[in-house]
Amino acid sequence: MISPDLAARLRDAGLIWHPADGDRFQIDAPELAADVFTVSTMTIQAHEFPTGTILGFNGTTEWALDSVAIEDALWLPREDQLRDLLRSTFLGLRRAGERYEVDVELLGERRTFADDDPAEAYGTALLALVGLSS
């Protein structure tokens, strides 16, 4: 899972989230900053309305939270989701000592993004890709 900081930077750069089962997220509220939630048919479902997407809590949580607007949630994409979002720009992942390197092709140029966590390396590469479209 990527860091909330990188997830926020991806969101702010324009990455759009379409919630699906298994997606993890945090709620943008100081008292819930340490909690990570998972979209699941049994507990938290995404409901599409003409006015936007609402994440509905199905009453199985310990505290009273009925729903939250998607704008108040921060998606924490998994490594596989980040790789899929890179699509055809993704060239490869390799281990280089203690770090992981993700190679992508952006605007005809091979670029490498490295981090101790492969998900963070994928996320940083995706941030560069999303930045090209803004």
**pLDDT value, residue 42:** 75
Exposed / middle / buried, residue 49 (Cβ in 10 Å: 0-12, 13-18, 19+) = exposed
The larger pLDDT score, comparing residue 74 to residue 46, is at: 74
pLDDT 10s digits, 73-105? 999 999 999 999 999 999 999 999 999 999 999
d(CA 13, CA 131): 6
Mean pLDDT of 107-134: 96
What's the Rg (C-alpha) of the chain?
16
Global pTM reads 0.86
- Look at the alpha carbons of 23, 29, 32, 33 in this order and tell me if their dihedral is positive or negative: positive
Q: In this model, does residue 64 exceed pLDDT 80?
A: no
pLDDT 10s digits, 102-120? 999 999 999 999 999 999 9
